[in-house]
A and B are shown apart, each in its own frame.
Chain A
């Protein structure tokens, strides 16, 4: 039952931002923000691009992320699979569901890290401002100071829902696996 509900909850992720990157600088006390959705970007992307071109960072656009075209379909698969697991209700499928969710999350984080690494390191050699040995990789999670900018990266509402769904699956998996094993012992 809970698995079914949590699978359906994933529908909300289509309508909510998944990840949020916030930046502050002396001239931007109010902060600027980029939101990552399943299929698009929003927020002050152009302002970020305008500021980052001085140090030769790439121009962020949706074309840069083939993931944005795939993620909506991936999410459909997860939802359908989750409902299937709820319907079958066997331990095997629960294990599979939990594993799939965890792997998806880890996969996405690795993907994001790799993008961030490339974005922060692969700079235009003709950039106006070049600081020796400086890379601008944004933090995967948490806060990091990059020259005059403070960058903060954290899941947004959609991301937290996804995390909660994973959490639910893990708790069920743990309950089924560990607790039952103890009972048998």
Chain B
């Protein structure tokens, strides 16, 4: 009996000793005392920064204010968005056209703000579509997607868009090597022979922003994962992390993780430009690709199909491409604000290598090579690194920089941000993130003039951080103060989709240029009605075009008869309002696509195909005014063989 009590006592004692989450520190909240004040933006006050987070599998872009973390908007890009008709309206459908047809979704990963001389210029934001290789451009005056270009000869467009110092180019790389050219139907186990990588340089017109495939660089069949362009002294070069140098094609989690060092691929794109100018490229035909552009004057997108690209085979042109050995399976590559240091994060490596651009140039000049791959020289690791950050943490992924010479590296496995000194490569601080951080973002932290106030952690797992919502949980962003010696957790907020990379800029960079309305007199939509007098209903065979207007609080016309079953009815809705924040919605019963949200001065079109006879109602779906509930109308649908004449009216009542 005594023995039993003794054993139980020891047992209880041991249970009491069980540590409480020793990994995540003392407090899972981890926010400091003044955090609430520091992120509080009073009602009516505005945030200091815009934060743009990729939507990941949502295909869209989230827009938030910092420091409050308040969500401002979701910008539809690659995915249809029934909320405002993106990808459903006749005008926006062409934006989602590709060589595979209409593709209404994608996986958007890396938002990148345009830069001039290595500094944010507030003009555009670029973002890649990972699945159907595409790059989109968002106009920051309207926060709308205005261009989507498909990337030919590509697959798994992950190392994208990463613009060059003056946004001369955005890039696109293959994370999945694929057979190129005409013979693409090959056995998968002929990988080493037939599979290739391709890095595309997409030119961006300085004025219009229009994108075009300038040239492509053919590379060995490795996985080109992430990228950043050089700046300052390294301007003219791009760097791509490169894994699966084993060239495996199956069970990659093991077979692509065998070598101790993979590569950082350095591309001299200025030389590529020169080679192309000299005509030293091969013309690739093959599959077509699409360029879809939004025209603000017609409020419509136009798709153009193109074929043929200029390809430079890297193995044929010395000096075009170099491989830098890089510790195991590198993921992110980031260039510091001076452009001299390049940090590549080997996600399976124990150290973090810091490459030095001047040393790379020296090694190239001295032919300091350690072999080659198909004629592409491999530089000697020891010759090109400034040093390594020893034991930084586990699973390093990405690095951003502040204005005081510090770097911040995200650690996926150890779920933390590690702050280190770029010059000395010494770790000076670390802070846990909740949980499993992927990318991180210092506002302008990828530019020549980073800020030094915040770093934003973009987390993959939230588990116990919020009220539970079943098996499917939100992902999150965390705002961390970096203005002092110690990083301090300030705020934790949910995001849309999966926030991969993010960009942030001072609010003042964008607020000045915001468009409030589209001037109605500048509306060049072919079916615009710029006043109620211009409204009409016109039949062309079984197509019916309704030119309709909206103004608080009625449609013109609001009674339509003479529509027949089997008709294709195009509702062209022009919002006559010229006042800020007065959109009108358009919703018609039985519409198989979506509703429309039409901005002041804009025209948008919904296709509706009535299936049965009767009277159908339509209404405004955006509460626009005190008489919004009265903003409705009727359309009469008659059998296909009926003789009901086509009539339309507003405010006409029977005698």
Interface residues of chain A, those whose CB is within 8 Å of chain B, are 44, 46-47, 50, 54, 128-129
Contacts and interface: CB of A to CB of B under 8 A. Distances in A.
Contacts of B416: none
B578 A46 contact: yes
A47 B625 CA distance: 13
B552 interface: yes
Nearest to B520: A46
Contacts of B627: 54, 128
A156 B565 CA distance: 60
B578 A47 contact: yes
B3 interface: no
B516 to A, nearest CB: 11
Interface string B612-645: 0000000000000111001000000000000000
Interface string B529-552: 000000000000000000000011
Contacts of A54: 625-627
Contacts of A46: 578
B652 to A, nearest CB: 15
Contacts of B626: 54, 128-129
A170 to B, nearest CB: 43
Nearest to B625: A54
Contacts of B552: 50
Contacts of A47: 578-579
4 A-B pairs closest in CB distance? A47-B579, A128-B627, A50-B552, A46-B578
B247 interface: no
Contacts of A50: 551-552, 577, 579
Contacts of A44: 579
A47 B581 CA distance: 12
A130 to B, nearest CB: 13
Interface in B545-599: 551-552, 577-579
A128 B551 CA distance: 15
A178 B356 CA distance: 91
Q: Interface of chain B, helix or strand or loop or mixed?
A: loop
Interface in B27-61: none
A136 B251 CA distance: 78
Given A50-B552, A54-B625, 13 more contacts: A44-B579, A46-B578, A47-B578, A47-B579, A50-B551, A50-B577, A50-B579, A54-B626, A54-B627, A128-B626, A128-B627, A128-B630, A129-B626
B206 to A, nearest CB: 34
B514 to A, nearest CB: 14
15 contacts: A44-B579, A46-B578, A47-B578, A47-B579, A50-B551, A50-B552, A50-B577, A50-B579, A54-B625, A54-B626, A54-B627, A128-B626, A128-B627, A128-B630, A129-B626
Interface residues of B, number: 9
Q: Interface of chain A, helix or strand or loop or mixed?
A: helix
Contacts of B551: 50
B116 to A, nearest CB: 32
Contacts of B579: 44, 47, 50
Nearest to A51: B552
Contacts of B578: 46-47
A74 B511 CA distance: 45
A145 to B, nearest CB: 18
A169 to B, nearest CB: 42
A52 B551 CA distance: 13
A129 B630 CA distance: 13
A101 B551 CA distance: 44
A98 B626 CA distance: 50
B512 to A, nearest CB: 16
Nearest to A50: B552
Nearest to B630: A128
Interface in B212-238: none
Nearest to B578: A46
A47 B551 CA distance: 11
Contacts of B625: 54
A128 B577 CA distance: 19
A126 to B, nearest CB: 10
B201 to A, nearest CB: 45
B632 to A, nearest CB: 14
B653 to A, nearest CB: 12
A159 B367 CA distance: 81
A54 B626 CA distance: 9
Nearest to A28: B579
B581 to A, nearest CB: 8
A137 to B, nearest CB: 21
B584 to A, nearest CB: 12
B84 to A, nearest CB: 21
A85 to B, nearest CB: 46
A129 B553 CA distance: 13
A30 B513 CA distance: 18
Nearest to B580: A30
A129 B552 CA distance: 14
Task: Please indicate which of the listed interface residues A44, A47, A50 has the most CB atoms of chain B within 10 Å of its own CB.
Answer: A50
A54 B627 CA distance: 8
A128 to B, nearest CB: 6
A44 B577 CA distance: 12
Contacts of B577: 50
Nearest to B627: A128
A128 B554 CA distance: 12
B29 to A, nearest CB: 37
A60 B577 CA distance: 16
A81 B142 CA distance: 54
A44 B627 CA distance: 21
Nearest to A128: B627
A141 B202 CA distance: 62
B44 to A, nearest CB: 9
B388 to A, nearest CB: 56
A168 to B, nearest CB: 41
Nearest to B626: A54
B30 to A, nearest CB: 39
B523 to A, nearest CB: 15
Nearest to B581: A27
Nearest to A30: B580
A128 B628 CA distance: 12
A54 B552 CA distance: 9
B463 to A, nearest CB: 42
A13 to B, nearest CB: 29
A44 B579 CA distance: 9
B533 to A, nearest CB: 15
A47 B516 CA distance: 14
A117 B66 CA distance: 50
A65 to B, nearest CB: 22
Nearest to B579: A47
A128 B579 CA distance: 21
Task: Please indicate which of the listed interface residues B551, B552, B579 has the most CB atoms of chain A within 10 Å of its own CB.
Answer: B579
Nearest to A27: B581
Nearest to A53: B552
